[in-house]
Structure 1
Amino acid sequence: MSLATTPAAATAKPRRTELAAFLRARRARLTPEDVGMAPGLRRRTPGLRREEVAQLAGVGVTWYTWLEQGRPINASEQVLNAVARTLRLDPAERAHLFHLAGIRPTDLYEEACKAQPEVQSILDALNPLPAAISSARYDILRWNDAYQALFPGATLSEEGRRNSLWCTATVPDCCNAFVNRAEELPRMVAVLRAGYGRHVGEPLWEDFIRDLREASPDFAGLWAQQDVAAHSSRLKIFRHAAVGEVRMTATNLSVLGMPEARMVVYTPNDDASREAVAWLREHPGAAPVDHLH
């Protein structure tokens, strides 16, 4: 297959065409007064001129002209950020700019995972069902009271590791909340691998995976297997020293406006598990384990 017929090559030209139109439209909505420049005379088109955008962004006029013409030129994250600031792009517009340019900014993932304040109200309304917002890297971003009562070790994690995969992979079996850890950990690692495919080379992801490989031989072995999986509803069996085993079905839900995050809701599988979660909510200080190392 020739380079011109590859899927990447087939989509590159339409993306550049869309990028050119987007930049022209964003430039047209700004006036010189918006950016602190004198209006000047004889403006034939609305908005800023190309040379003015280039000057304000600190890039060459020719380079910016080629970018706006949709030519196949290289654009770095630093330069695109300068263009985005000059054109007064909001977060959604900035993400769109980078996507059209074929570049993924290092902070886009973190922005996409920020839970909006109103999401907390939804989580709270789900009580007594344990629920949390989790990133594709298993970072626990927000949670409700029932979740904290069931998983205090995750929400109060030390060393800044408020991360369910980190807890599952590194906490010793005697203290681990998972009863069916041997079954679920490989699945979690495979789901992480699927998410990692969208973030290969990004420092935050690479650092997390390196640290977890060093901290957990189990994770390191599973990671080397290259297994990939998607999220699905799963039976999770947990243990808590105060109430014994708790059997829950974990359901993953998408959250609009947070494409890199998901809402995980845990539904009790039986009356005993439902009563256990209710008791834990009434006794939030109950220790999840009966011993200390």
Structure 2
Amino acid sequence: MRTSLQRTELKAFLRARRAALVPEAVGLPRGPRRLTPGLRREEVAALAQVGVSWYTWLEQGRAINVSAAALTRIARALALSPTDEAYLFALMGLTRTDVPEHHFSLPPVMREVLDLYQAPAFVLDTVFNLLAWNRMAERLYDFGEFSGPFADNHLWNAFMNPARRRLYPGFENGALNLLGMFRMNQAAHPEDPRFHQLIEALNAASAEFVALWQRCHTAPLSAITVPFFHPEFGDLSIHSMRLPIRDGDHVDRATAFFFAPANAETAASFARVARRLAAQQAAPAQA
């Protein structure tokens, strides 16, 4: 820890989490004479397999040597959430040695919203892997047409899928915006190895990616207007609106993209394709 503020926050944070954890939650008896709310320091030390004195010094914010492995055991002993654990490591200035898996399930209502929306809409996780989409987005992007280890990744397809590249008349501006959002996601989830894996793969496969990534561009989720071209839809001008989707710990886990027409021609194109899809869906039912 580098500042007195970090030491003060560490003391408050560890004490609060220890006080909030009831003994029964970790398989310990409460006993009739327990006066301490939550766990005792010696109980946390035993659960984390560290010395009582060492844990006491840690909780007091003293300048002691702390390994990432020991801090991980303390996080487990205190039953910290993924965000709590990330915060604890950030306070200590350490990098986690093991990466907790985040099992995020898209809320079912989001799929219903996508189906009700009468323009292309889809959801990407933090690494830009495709999670869900509606029929209009499927028609525009032709999801599933590409193969390989990153076949479902929106960023990989933007650079490596020739059919996807042809959708973007102004590729560089759109790619920079996409990379800017991706870079922000990477900064918010430094523990996720999928970012590094994808970046390494794109570095090896695309000189254009390397050149754009080295600009270190950042971009917010705010809506932008982008041009598209598609053989069926024609020339499009689209407002790309992005909405974050958070988990129970209020951590961003995905982004919903909703495309809205930016001019009358695009609105007419969306309406025409939507009618065509509705007719195709109704045809088997009538048969």
State the TM-score, normalizing by the size of structure 1: 0.75
SS at match of 1:242: coil
1:185 corresponds to 2:175:
yes
Which residue, out of 148, 151, 158, partners 2:147? 158
Which residue, out of 48, 62, 67, partners 1:57? 48
SS at match of 1:183: helix
Q: Relative to structure 1, is the Cα distance of residues 166 and 174 closer, same or farther in structure 2, using a 3 angstrom cutoff?
A: closer
Q: Tell me the equivalent position of 2:79.
A: 88
The Cα offsets for residues 171-194 of structure 1, whole Å up to 9 and x where unpaired, read as: 227863222213322333344344
Which residue, out of 45, 58, 63, partners 1:67? 58
Which residue, out of 205, 224, 234, partners 1:215? 205
The Cα offsets for residues 201-241 of structure 1, whole Å up to 9 and x where unpaired, read as: 86322221110122222111222333444444322222323
In structure 1, distance between residues paired with 2:234 and 2:85? 49
Q: Relative to structure 1, is the Cα distance of residues 41 and 186 closer, same or farther in structure 2, using a 3 angstrom cutoff?
A: closer
Q: Tell me the equivalent position of 2:233.
A: 243
SS at match of 1:24: helix
Q: Relative to structure 1, is the Cα distance of residues 283 and 119 closer, same or farther in structure 2, using a 3 angstrom cutoff?
A: closer
1:132 corresponds to 2:122:
yes
User: After alignment, is 54-63 or 178-187 more displaced?
Assistant: 178-187
Q: Relative to structure 1, is the Cα distance of residues 44 and 249 closer, same or farther in structure 2, using a 3 angstrom cutoff?
A: closer
Q: Relative to structure 1, is the Cα distance of residues 200 and 91 closer, same or farther in structure 2, using a 3 angstrom cutoff?
A: closer
Percent identity (aligned): 33
1:17 corresponds to 2:11:
no
SS at match of 2:242: strand
The Cα offsets for residues 105-141 of structure 1, whole Å up to 9 and x where unpaired, read as: 5646x7497644443344344x113223334543333
Q: Relative to structure 1, is the Cα distance of residues 116 and 188 closer, same or farther in structure 2, using a 3 angstrom cutoff?
A: same
Q: Tell me the equivalent position of 1:283.
A: 277
Q: Tell me the equivalent position of 1:267.
A: 260
Q: Tell me the equivalent position of 1:143.
A: 133
Q: Is the CA contact 1:112–1:261 (under 8 Å) kept in the aligned structure 2? A: no
Q: Relative to structure 1, is the Cα distance of residues 38 and 260 closer, same or farther in structure 2, using a 3 angstrom cutoff?
A: closer
Q: Relative to structure 1, is the Cα distance of residues 123 and 98 closer, same or farther in structure 2, using a 3 angstrom cutoff?
A: farther
Q: Is the CA contact 1:113–1:258 (under 8 Å) kept in the aligned structure 2? A: no
SS at match of 1:283: helix
Q: CA RMSD in A?
A: 3.5
Q: Is the CA contact 1:113–1:260 (under 8 Å) kept in the aligned structure 2? A: yes
Q: Relative to structure 1, is the Cα distance of residues 19 and 241 closer, same or farther in structure 2, using a 3 angstrom cutoff?
A: same
Unaligned stretches of 5+ residues in structure 1 = 1-7, 287-293
1:28 corresponds to 2:22:
no
SS at match of 1:141: strand
Q: Relative to structure 1, is the Cα distance of residues 104 and 238 closer, same or farther in structure 2, using a 3 angstrom cutoff?
A: farther
Q: Is the CA contact 2:83–2:251 (under 8 Å) kept in the aligned structure 1? A: no
Cα distance, 1:144 vs structure 2: 2.9
